[in-house]
Amino acid sequence: MDAGIDVAGVKRSFGAVHAVQQVTFTALPGRVTGLVGPNGSGKTTLMLMLASLLRPDEGEMRIGGIDPVSDPAGARRLLGWMPDSLGAWPSLTSREVLVATAQLYDLSREDARARADHLLELVDLGALAASPARVLSRGQKQRLALARALVHGPRVLLLDEPASGLDPQARIALRVLLRRLAGEGRTILISSHVLSELEEVVDDAVFMVDGRTVGTDRVAAAATRVRVWRVRVAADLARSTESVRGDIAAALGRTAEEVRVDRRDVLVPFSDEAAAVAGLRSLVSAGLPIVEFAPAVGDLEHAFLDLRAEASPPTPDLPDGPAGPRDASPPGSWAPPAAHPVTDADRTDDGSTS
């Protein structure tokens, strides 16, 4: 069964605050889809709705063809939810957190223990299996949260800032794991502010600005606008960066004001990749010892910055007060399939389930 994510015309407001105004996109099985947007663009609110923790005001969502509003239990069987904060039982050990979660998915105690031990090794927490969750560092809690999301072998993963707090080695391991999981046919939707990390792992990107998904034509236009490239020449202690800047400007037929210095590098704008290729030829032909010539930012960040420059000031994604989504569903409060679907009748005034 193809277990992708389909979202069409979804909206969600909290009083006068329109957190998600119009979101439409598809995330496909076997691919990692990045959810990109500034703070306040509605990413976390959208994730909470997909995880069946918030009900949209309008629009439709499907997780593997299942509506998380009308059948949250069915959707939760398919998906693994990793919030941006662990939200686990602090007195339980890392192994106990995973065993308890696995048993909530009806795994036997023996199978739950085996699954917990496997996942602890997978996320490099084997040495901390007997440590209480409360003593784990931020990065270790993130790894435990990922293991918890994987405990029932979900076909869809919703990951909110999974790289937050991870050290460089753990981030590399996370990228490798996500690519492996996608290769197994899983659908992975990942939200992150670390665009350089997303750049290396995502197959597709969904851009959100002011609670709306940005059309593909607008994203394509943003990605092809004038782009800054970073140029570095071999170090020469006898020459200043300003001198190098002048040589680069002369070789490109630019004025010194058209290029700028960033520490030991020179930043040069080019209209497109063809212009960048021609520029590199000119620099090499001028005899400059070029050791680095690359875009100053990745494709995602370039498009993001361009789209952000066009946008109006963002609406807060998580408003203060009792109507805000964090009050409605604290991170980590997501639970496995319940005995019956969660309906509005099951919710308290602040949106949480009773």
* Three-class secondary structure assignment of 83-97: CCCCCCCCCCEHHHH
CATH 3.30.70.980 in the chain is located at 222-309
C-beta of residue 184 within 8 angstroms of C-beta of residue 32: no
Long-range contacts formed by 112-119: CB under 8 A, 24+ apart: 115/151, 116/147, 116/151, 119/147, 119/150, 119/151
pLDDT at residue 37 in the model: 81
pLDDT at residue 220 in the model: 61
pLDDT at residue 289 in the model: 92
pLDDT at residue 210 in the model: 83
pLDDT digits (tens, 9 = 90+) for 227-281: 888 999 998 755 787 888 899 999 999 988 889 888 888 999 998 889 999 999 9
- Give me the amino acid identity at 72: P
Q: For the chain, how big is the Rg over CA atoms in Å?
A: 24
DSSP state of 132: B
pTM listed for this prediction: 0.74
| DSSP, residue by residue, 199-231 | HTT-SEEEEEETTEEPPHHHHHHHHTS-EEEEE
pLDDT at residue 318 in the model: 42
pLDDT at residue 271 in the model: 85
Class in CATH terms, 222-309: alpha beta
Alpha helices in the chain (DSSP H): 43-50, 72-78, 94-104, 109-122, 138-149, 168-183, 195-199, 216-223, 241-252, 273-285, 299-310, 325-328
pLDDT at residue 40 in the model: 81
Q: Return the axis-axis angle of helices 94-104 and 109-122, rounded to nearest 10°.
A: 130
The span from the CA of 353 to the CA of 343, in Å, is 9
- Write down how long the chain is: 354
pLDDT at residue 238 in the model: 59
What residues form DSSP beta bridges with 270? 227
User: At which residue do the structure tokens 């039982």 appear?
Assistant: 89
CATH 3.40.50.300 in the chain is located at 5-211+315-346
The span from the CA of 308 to the CA of 304, in Å, is 6
For 261, phi then psi, to 5°, come to -100, 135
The span from the CA of 137 to the CA of 122, in Å, is 18
pLDDT at residue 224 in the model: 61
- In the predicted model, residues of the chain with pLDDT beneath 70 are 1, 215-224, 237-238, 299, 302-354
| CATH number, domain 5-211+315-346, options 3.20.20.140, 3.40.1160.10, 3.30.70.270, 3.40.50.300 | 3.40.50.300
pLDDT at residue 296 in the model: 80
pLDDT at residue 49 in the model: 95
